Chains A and B, each alone.
Chain A
């Protein structure tokens, strides 16, 4: 609750700050300080210390899981601003506004991780979506950015429509919006309840870009300014996954046998489509868009197998996937050439950046000693409790993912640059910050207990 309120206030402050503060680096520092404050407030709440005493009337419920998820998102966002904050200046003149929008989205993120009523879920998703439409189209002179924004807006509104219809049916079946289990037999078996279950499943699948509802993702991620793609593909996605898990763990837990086969089908489709399409991409940015679909397939296993392993796995997944992808996008936003050849010879010119990138890609591919490996391990272990073949599909697709992730490693380390002029220049502190992010990913792979321990004490 602390972070939710303060982030909305910070958003307003940042919006006004451009009037008073002309120096962009001050605004950047202000945003970072704000984030650090949010992180501390969130930790304080984990320890039971609340800034305000508000009667939430059962609309919001910040349990430990939601708070740990929020902490992960805030930490990721902090690294995101550190690494990509400067690149955001290049998008357009409204630097402070972009940051303000990020903080508003933050408020939405906390709503979707902590909702206890479907109304709040709807509200949270809208609070996230509307600023994202703006950010996607923020590169106004770029036709692709405009196209992406329009596409995102139209399809996003459509899926929000589905969501709303689902919530309406839900109200019809139960007479309230409360996201809890209903044991009333007339509710559990009712066709209204079933319709709302499917509509909500489809709408949430759309929001987290799970196949067959993924069609918007590649174009939107490719068209949006790289810095904002990074944000959308990581922090927003994992928050929505947390909401997804919450919805099916609590609200629809009794209809388990109905939705589990659907989710299993979606997992297989998503893994196949995401991975196989990513292999054939020529642009690293588009490859990452498909890779984010593929990774969503793995995260969807957490929804499929709702158990202790999968919930812990989702936390690890959120942290390692977000950090790694944010790092990769941060480097990408400094490159002129988005094809795989743009990375040629990077290891010679920028050894630290290349080594960090290699760690990120190894983590995404799920190689041991990185957070990505343990995250995948938890997911596969969770799935294995129900269906061995699903786990086998998942690991085969993890092998396929090596094909596209390692293309970048091969370009960086084993090929040499044809044109030295094209080599990117990075700000001075950038390689060190990137290395710190990479080390965090490695630490997650060696000592995951420090993160998971937050859940229990």
Chain B
């Protein structure tokens, strides 16, 4: 029932806001309350409602096709649902006092996207998964195209076409799997029972992987991402990079790895090479950027690259680190986007060259920025450190022969990320004060609160990550038992 509530609350909120055209104040308040309700339901799920009946929901739907409307919240789903509800709440809180054109529609689309993403995180029926996968895409397309920058129309269309192309390949894979199941059903449980030869696994692997790789995005499928992040309005970019890219990782963890473990091992080297090339490539590009949003966009590609490499490490440690990183990366990048938005809004520009010396005028903002940026480069005592540490440990223990290459090149990425992040901090906050940065940035109280909560989360889970690790332990263990290469080869 909790899972159904989590989908229904934003859906009702979205319908209400689509029909009711209020002013900004009204719309943002309504959206904030809806997101608070989702967050409270999520909180209640963590502490009270955690019986299996509360965490699953299933009704027959499209029975002639063999599909049902089935949702289940496991450890991974819990982690991502917390991330989604928390990100939405923080974002809407931050957006309390702004002016956006046609606000009711704007918030309605965002809430509809939340329905889509939560559905992706919770669906355990492959056709339902595909439904939600597309449902999350449409609102993002409309948001970015209607409220975005000058080049928004071609850029977001490229984003749409890319993602759609990836997902239709996945659809073919899903239909093929359905035809192989014993009971002609789309349910994950039935699909897991199919015995596939390694050839079948291989091409199914690519049908699914392309969809996830485009969503993540992994090099060389990333070309839509920097443009889209730059041209979208920053709140939309924040949701795209904090929550939506996690759909790709979820796809890997819930669908790709457990369904095609042998192909994942066979193609693991290829995918990990793509991932680490992407890390280095994106890091170099990030160093060259003069636009704050583009810089954060490229840094996000580098982080996602590391997470993808971790997924294909195929061991328990990497899975644990990866799932922790899903949450921490989401929170940290959300903080980065909020800060980027603050600077752009108050300074009127996001060109790094034309900023400088903000630290002298507004120390509070500087403190927030430096902590969040350091968390982004995974400094010890920040939340990202734990996740990346586990990821590297996992990559070093991967069954692949080239583990030291992947770990080494991935490690370079961490150093590069320190280079571009520190360079950015220096360029924006230190140096000469110029005409643009003369006036101090005064943070509103709610903006201060949002940033404090993010910093609080960063420090708390940097020091005490255990609750999050406990939450996903069962899922990681189960996933590892399905993808453990040594035992798989012993069996066959």
Inter-chain contact A381/B175, CB cutoff 8 Å: yes
* Chain A 423-437: CB-based contact to B (< 8 A → 1; otherwise 0): 000000000000000
Bound complex: CA A312 to CA B164 (Å) = 25
* Shortest distance from the beta carbon of B322 to any chain A beta carbon, whole Å: 28
Contact A410 B168 (CB under 8 A): no
B164 near A413 with CB under 8 A, answer: no
Q: A381-B179, A414-B152, A448-B62 are in contact. Are A391 and B160 (CB under 8 A)?
A: no
For window 173-196 of B, CB contacts with A under 8 Å fall at 175-176, 178-179
Residue among B63, B134, B152 with max Cβ neighbours from chain A (10 Å) = B134
Asked if B134 and A384 make an inter-chain contact with CB atoms under 8 angstroms apart, the answer reads: no
Tell me whether B468 is interfacial, beta carbon within 8 Å: no
- The residues of A that contact B142 with a CB separation of less than 8 Å are 413
Beyond A380-B175, A384-B175, whether A449 also contacts B130 by CB under 8 A is no
A454–chain B nearest beta-carbon distance, Å: 12
- Chain A residues within 8 Å of B131, by CB: 368-369
Given known A399-B161, A402-B160, contact A413–B145 (CB-CB < 8 A):
yes
Instruction: Report yes or no: A449 in contact with B62, Cβ–Cβ below 8 A.
Output: yes
Q: Are A413 and B146 in contact (CB under 8 A)?
A: yes
Given known contacts A377-B171, A449-B64, is B179 in contact with A388 (CB within 8 Å)?
no
CB nearest to B207 among chain A residues:
A392
Say whether A33 faces chain B, with CB atoms less than 8 Å apart: no
B64 contact set on A, CB distance < 8 A: 312, 448-449, 452
Is there contact, CB below 8 Å, between A380 and B171? yes
Closest Cβ of chain B to A213, distance in Å, is: 28
| CB <8 Å contact, B161 and A392 | no
Specify which chain A residues have a CB less than 8 angstroms from the CB of B179 in the assembled complex: 381, 384-385
Return the chain B residue nearest A456 by Cβ. B64
Asked, given contacts A312-B64, A368-B134, whether A392 binds B172 with beta carbons under 8 Å apart, the answer is yes
> Which chain B positions have C-beta within 8 A of A374?
62
Q: How distant is the Cα of A392 from the Cα of B172 in the complex, in angstroms?
A: 7
Q: CA of A380 to CA of B179 in the docked complex: distance in angstroms?
A: 12
Q: Is the CB of B405 closer than 8 A to any CB of chain A?
A: no
Name the interface size band of chain A.
Answer: 20 to 34
A92 to B329, CA, bound (A): 65
Q: Give the number of residue pairs across the A-B interface with Cβ within 8 Å.
A: 67
Chain B residues positioned under 8 Å from A381 (CB to CB): 65, 175, 178-179
Bound together, the chains give a CA A391 to CA B170 distance in angstroms of 12
Residue interface mask A369-413, B partner, CB < 8 A = 1: 100001001001100110010011001101100110010001001
Instruction: Please give the distance in Å from B159's CB to the nearest CB on chain A.
Output: 12
Would you give the 0/1 interface string for B151-172, flagging 1 where the beta carbon is closer than 8 Å to chain A? 0110001001100110011011
Contact of B172 among A391, A410, A413, A448 (CB under 8 A): A391
Roughly how many angstroms separate A381 CA and B184 CA in the complex, as a whole number? Answer: 12
> Which residues of B lie under 8 Å from residue A398 when comparing CB positions?
168
Question: Is A362 engaged at the interface, CB distance under 8 Å to the other chain?
Answer: yes
Residue numbers in B under 8 Å from A403 (CB-CB): 161
Complex-state Cα separation, A388 to B180, whole angstroms: 14
Contacts of B160 in A (CB 8 A): 402, 406
Known: A449-B62, A449-B63. A384 touches B168 (CB 8 A): no
How far, in angstroms, from A398 to B178 measured CA to CA in the complex? 21
> Closest residue of chain A to B154, judged by CB?
A410
In this assembly, does B488 line the interface, its C-beta being within 8 Å of a C-beta of chain A? no
Known: A369-B131, A449-B64. A395 touches B145 (CB 8 A): no
Q: Judge whether B172 and A368 touch: CB under 8 Å.
A: no
Q: In whole angstroms, how far apart are the Cα atoms of A452 and B171 in the complex? A: 22
Contact A395 B168 (CB under 8 A): yes
Tell me how far the C-beta of B306 lies from the nearest C-beta in chain A, rounded to whole angstroms.
Answer: 30
CA A362 – CA B138 in complex, angstroms? 10
Q: How far is the CA of A380 from the CA of B173 in the complex (A)?
A: 11
Query: Are the C-beta atoms of A402 and B164 separated by less than 8 Å?
Result: yes
The yes or no answer to B135 lying at the interface (CB within 8 A) is yes
Interface string of B357-381 (1 = CB under 8 A from A): 0000000000000000000000000
Q: By CB atoms of chain A within 10 A, which of B65, B131, B161, B168 has the most?
A: B168
Bound: A410/B153 CA distance, A: 7
Docked pose: A328 CA to B175 CA in angstroms: 31
Set of chain B residues within 8 Å of A368, measured between Cβ atoms: 130-131, 134-135
The closest CB in chain A to the CB of B168 belongs to A395
Known: A399-B161, A399-B164, A402-B160. A414 touches B153 (CB 8 A): yes
**With A414-B145, A449-B62 in contact, is A402–B175 under 8 Å at CB?**
no
A311 vs chain B, min Cβ distance (A):
12
Q: Is there a chain B Cβ closer than 8 Å to A36's Cβ?
A: no
| Interface residues as binary, A78-96 with B (CB distance below 8 Å gives 1, 0 otherwise) | 0000000000000000000
**Is A384 within 8 A of B152, CB to CB?**
no
Residues of B within 8 A of A410 (CB): 145, 153, 157
Q: Which residues of B contact A402 (CB under 8 A)?
A: 160-161, 164
A367 at the interface (CB under 8 A from B): yes
A395 touches B153 (CB 8 A): no
Q: Which 9 A-B pairs have the closest CB atoms?
A: A395-B168, A368-B134, A368-B131, A414-B145, A399-B165, A381-B175, A414-B153, A384-B175, A391-B172
Please report B residues at the A interface, Cβ cutoff 8 Å: 62-65, 130-131, 134-135, 138, 142, 145-146, 152-153, 157, 160-161, 164-165, 168-169, 171-172, 175-176, 178-179
21 contacts across the A-B interface (CB closer than 8 A): A362-B138, A368-B135, A369-B131, A377-B175, A380-B172, A381-B175, A384-B176, A384-B179, A391-B172, A391-B175, A392-B169, A395-B168, A395-B169, A395-B171, A399-B161, A399-B164, A406-B157, A406-B160, A413-B145, A414-B153, A448-B64
